[in-house]
A and B are shown apart, each in its own frame.
Chain A
Amino acid sequence: MSDIMPSLSRRTFVKTTGALGALAAVGGSVAAADSLFGAGVPEAHADTEEKVTWGHCAINCPGRCALRIHTKDDEVVWVETDTSDNNAIDDMQVRACLRGRSYRRWINHPDRLNYPMKRVGKRGEGKFEQISWDEAISTISEKIQETIEKYGNEAIYIHMGSGTSSTTARPYWRMFNAMGGSLQFYGNYSSHQLMYTGAYVFGTTAGSTINAIEDSTLYIGFGNNPVVTTQGGGCGHTDYVRMRENTKAKIIHIDPRLTDTVAGHCDEWVPINPGTDAALVAGIAHYLIEHDMVDLDFLHTYCVGYDEETMPEAYQGKNMSYRAYVMGEGYDKVEKTPEWASKITGIAPEKIEELAKEIGTTEALFIDQGYGSQRRSNGEWNAWSIMTLPCLVGQMGKPGTNSGYSHGSYSINLTSIPALTNPIKQQFPCFLYTDAIDHGSKFTAKNAGVKQGDAVTSDIKFMFYAAGNALTNQHGDINRTHEILADESKCEFIVCTNTVLCDSSKYADILLPDSFRFEQVSMIGTGGDTGYMIAGQPCTTPKFERKNPYEIATLISRACGSEETFTEGKTQEEWIKELYEKDRAKDPTLPTYDEFMDMGVYKKENPKGKTIAYQSFIADPVANPLKTPSGKIEIFSETVEKLAETWDLEEDEKFHGLPIYIPEWYGVETTTDEYPLQLTGFHYRGRQHSSWGNIEILKAANPQEVWINPSDAAKAGIEAGDKVAVKNEYGETHMLAKVTPRIIPGTVAIPQGAWHDADMYGDKVDKGGCINTLTTHRPSPLTKGNPQHTNICRVEKIG
């Protein structure tokens, strides 16, 4: 931190009447007013001294980039980041992306929330009135107690909000647990299907770090765009670019769009119809089998279910293995030749054969997947297929390889404030939250994937929603979601905290003004190829009546009589210090608390250099079995096959315990005359989900546009820059058309996270280009995840 001790010129003193107060606070040598204008008064400018503090980004992105926040007169004037004299890419710097550098516009945004407010219009209208903190807290605590008395703690719920993160940023579960608990979700909107499918396949999921690709000879990424999805200097973005500088591997990206990860480098881009990865893998598998390129030793030693030899006993002799499926002996008796796959994927059969040949002959294969392939109605099977691919050729556990799961990272994991014990054990999938409001009490394990119990016992009646926009904007089918949230007989009370009035906050009954992590003491750990952690101090004094989450939770706890259990008599800073000291006790190489606060960013090399997924399992599968029922990689999962037999599933939700290709509900094979285009979402440069979606300079650099291939645009009479309506059975949303050959014909793509802007008590037409106007609320069959990339639509030119 720089010296903020001001000295004073006569001009400055005359200009700033508050300066005397400042002087008094500083104390010391300059005291008497009448001596101020005499000789020897030091010359300087009290109102131009710049103060610099460290802070960290806290949005839902693995890169928690370092921020150097410059303030003048207690106002943020600009934000820079981790810079040093060395501009070499091999020296890791946690340089913030354009969004992190734009925080000044968000901190000082005219729409920033400054006071507690209560709703005065209908839910979703966005009409609020300022109230006092006393009124806000007493109303909230009364409603909490009312809910507990009337419905029990099961009726209280915190939905997933990812707008802030640090060791103390999310204290609200602890707050409710101190009062008897709350109903909980499991999973998320990011990688739900991948995570839980991966758990069936591998037990505990793992991916190799990006720098492991330096030892690869072939890299294939499915639906993976790290330079955009994980921007910044400390994680996927820079790790990927650095890796590309250092590797000799051929790099192939399989994606419906030519993403910025491919741009500029002429890596090979294989355009694929979205939602068809499982078909491509089956086509590749067919070629590998036909040409004797599968690694049978690997498959028989480490995997279950490739062929009859390793099928679980109960399923032997039934042609239920992956090989039987691929070779046309399985349940559908269709041979999955490259020609078969080409009709579904849109990739020429020769290209599929070429890919297979490269996969079958390369020395060190790194198969990677982003979260794009799995955020679909058949996401489980795409994710599972991609994880099967390295098994087929025995490319796992050695240098330059990956598991087919998403690439991993090396992180400094700091301990967060403990959540205490929640007496309510049962959990339901995150994406079912609107159903949990509507009919949560009917949820069972078989119809809704309830875990840690057989059923949920109450509908949600009280919702607390902190720092997020997934109530509406980021959730499936906004128009349906609105109907559920607007009905005050269903969820009776909604509390939101936020920094700005986003679409979700409009449904709050009480809306509380939140603080950024760099407006308070904060600490966070993360990593990519290299681990790092960041500590920060408040950049300014608290402004208006904004409070931080720990203060808000403390006030609510006090009103509900659980303050002592919640705070244990500690302030937030005391908690941060205590938690950090515990981490330091485990790893004494970490700097002391004071040293860390001073240095801001601390980096730690991965002691292994590069992490290789499942290295110890591959080295000795008997001594280090996986945490699956068989102890091996489950290409066929008996667990999943049994779920398929016993769960309540619709006809188009039927699945098997095998990574088969299942056509999507709203996919390239199920478009209609009315809605002839597949519609997929993707992450955008100027936002992290919906965060930063209101910042003008980022919107100017990243206009909300639907990507459409010139051939599809010509058919619809659309030219670049036209204003268009994208429509389907769920709604209508408006944005600009980006006519570009960078997207496969037949599919259009909308960057997710744009701010929903519709009159929800009028025509409900969204002027903001929010893709969730068009998405479904129906969860994927197996893991009950969000299929928000699986949509069909038509695009029309408008005025």
Chain B
Amino acid sequence: MTTEKNSGGKGIWFLLAGLVVVNLLLGFFLAPRHVALVHAPIFQFPNFFAFLGVPGTWLPAHVTFTWLVMVLLVVGSVVATRALKAVPGPLQNFAEVVLEAFFSLLEQMIGKQGRHFLPLVGTVGLFILTSNLLGNLPGFQAPTANWNTTVALALTVFVWYNYAGIRKHGLVGYLKHFCGPIWWLAVPMFIIEFIGHCARPVSLSIRLFGNIFGEESVIAILLSLSWLVMPYMIWLGIMLPLSLFTAAVQTFVFIMLTMVYIAGAVEEGHEAEQH
């Protein structure tokens, strides 16, 4: 009686309406009654560091996911560089592109001596990018969504750029840059510069942690609203592209600031940076 096309068009609407009804019923009976900010991580170890005084029955998720990111990066780089060829395969080609991007950024930001800082900047950048992207998979947690991880990264950067500055200018010469040009203002200037330098790792770590943790919290709240279709659609359509973008941008900002700090510590004409 009815045509094929007509019934097919109606069928889609019936399917959608049924889906919404089923979701409403499921949500009514099964939806979590609390907002779960921390979803259950799927990669976790029992606490085998209990003899060292680590509390809890499980190791904290950001530690185990840090190990996961480390394993991914180490295995990836070993596989990419195991058999180097003059005509590179796809994996070696990708690694070369990444390395060239880091080299050009370093030379653009720091100058000729920028290549010496590839171990720090490359490791930090790849680690942050991998862990930010890992957090988008369901069941995985980004290690950078925990303040401890980002503080460790920022303190590494802090120690490294101060060490680079001291090795470049000598301890006295490096500390002399802190004191400013006017001799009777040297002591307050030194204190002010010291506080300003201490604020750098704080701002670095808080920015990265805040962005990634906030994005994960928004997604968790969105998905725990109810078991409806719409939150998943919003997640797939809006939050997932947004969080991929955030992951790349936060990685970029972190390594750019790292390079700015290194450049400020290492530069020859230190005064040009100061005023």
Report whether chain A binds chain B. Answer: no
